[in-house]
A and B are shown apart, each in its own frame.
Chain A
């Protein structure tokens, strides 16, 4: 087995960690290097560093912050935000990312997934999907949740797998930052469709929510607010998860 991973998410906006609700109302949380170090010490299994304003503002990822985080920690790093080309992905890998996620520009140019995975392997190529309820289904949104696409998340995920993606970072825009639970229906929909690991993201309010996401098919649970606002420490979450029967790494 591998343990269910608890992934700490640092949403970056111009070098500082921010957090919002449904991708809006961003508030400053703190220094990324300090937070990454603290979360590793608390028992995080992985750190996600996502430059959330890179794509909507058509900027490149802030590489320097990533480099500083990678130097400080010795757990895996997933990095993403604004990756438009193989060269952009290369920069993130060079700066210390173990995995790179693509989102907006993979929708615009699906070949990007293949280009990255052919060189770095599918285990390092993550398809990030931001989904929102629309009518009786879901739609994929890009550009930091600002632009709706005609794609449905399960179909897009399985297309991404064919193209070489090795993991899905699946974020519910509706649930993001609300701490009222992950969108279990969304997780279950995508996890039934593809056979690669799924990182559930958006809505974590408690360890119970995380256990439910795992029940719906997630291999990893990502959270930000509950840790940034110190509602829980990472080790507290893991103790509770473990009591709920979810196998997690207790360092």
Chain B
């Protein structure tokens, strides 16, 4: 399996690369070349940084995703990598890739909740699609101030106070997580297994 990680240019991709090697049995290619991305079986959009900076840095990403999914390849967006798949964001200048429908908004401060939201929370499966049901109740690690306000293909959610946060989105060949599977201990391993079986169909 060819796995590519989109290079965000800020050099914190080691943990993601380790996670891929350990759980997918393949050494990922870290690349900012859209040709390499389009040629992968699984393209991972990493999870740290700033919305508009990440979009700007990876030029040609939308085309790469279109070509990749047309060939039957898969995309995994993690945290910020999930958020850039949506249409727009309140963070930075805002235009997203528009692969998923919805807006990325800041966690409202009037809730009295501390922002950013940092820590572990259980995933609740809202749409019982296989193989994702095996993630029901598992704890994953989150670190974010913005979230995707969307009803587009939400499979799992988590809560912050009474705020429901879309946390696992699956739409055809696009899989996106607000949590960090690569930092979620054993749950991360279960997630990798589910993603692999989803990709095998």
Q: Which residue of A lies closest to B114 (CB)?
A: A197
| Minimum distance in angstroms from A33 CB to a CB of chain B | 14
A90 CB contact (under 8 Å) in B10, B120, B160, B189: B10
Q: How many residues of B contact A (CB 8 A)?
A: 39
Question: Which one of B10, B139, B185 lies within 8 Å of A74 (CB-CB)?
Answer: B185
| Chain B positions within 8 Å of A98 at CB level | 15, 48, 143, 180, 183
Asked if B128 is an interface residue, CB under 8 A from chain A, the answer is no
Q: Which positions 1-52 of chain B face chain A at CB distance < 8 Å?
A: 10-12, 14-15, 18-19, 22, 48-50
Determine how close the nearest CB of chain A comes to the CB of B146; give it in whole angstroms: 10
- Choose from B14, B15, B119 the contact partner of A2 (Cβ within 8 Å): B119
A70 close to B18 (CB less than 8 A): yes
Residue A36 lies at the interface, judged by CB distance under 8 Å to chain B: no
Q: For the complex, would chain B's binding face be called helix, strand, loop or mixed by DSSP majority?
A: mixed
Decide: A93 and B141 in contact? CB cutoff 8 A: no
Assembly CA distance A119 to B51 (angstroms): 10
Contact string against B for A residues 162-201, beta-carbon threshold 8 Å, 1 for contact and 0 otherwise? 0000110000000000000000000000000001111000
Across-interface contacts of A74 in B (CB, < 8 A): 15, 19, 22, 182-185, 188-189
Q: Across the interface, which residues of A come within 8 angstroms of B11, CB to CB?
A: 90, 93-94
* B161 shortest CB reach to chain A, Å: 7
A144 to chain B, nearest CB (A): 25
Contact with B along A9-23 (1 / 0, CB 8 A): 000000000000000
By Cβ-Cβ distance, the 8 closest A-B pairs, closest first, are A2-B119, A93-B12, A123-B116, A123-B143, A94-B11, A249-B120, A166-B116, A2-B121
User: Which B residues fall within an 8 A CB radius of A?
Assistant: 10-12, 14-15, 18-19, 22, 48-50, 53, 80, 109, 114-121, 139, 141-145, 159-161, 180, 182-186, 188-189
Which residues of A approach B to under 8 Å, CB–CB?
1-5, 40, 45, 67, 70-71, 74-76, 90, 93-99, 118-124, 166-167, 195-198, 219-220, 249, 251
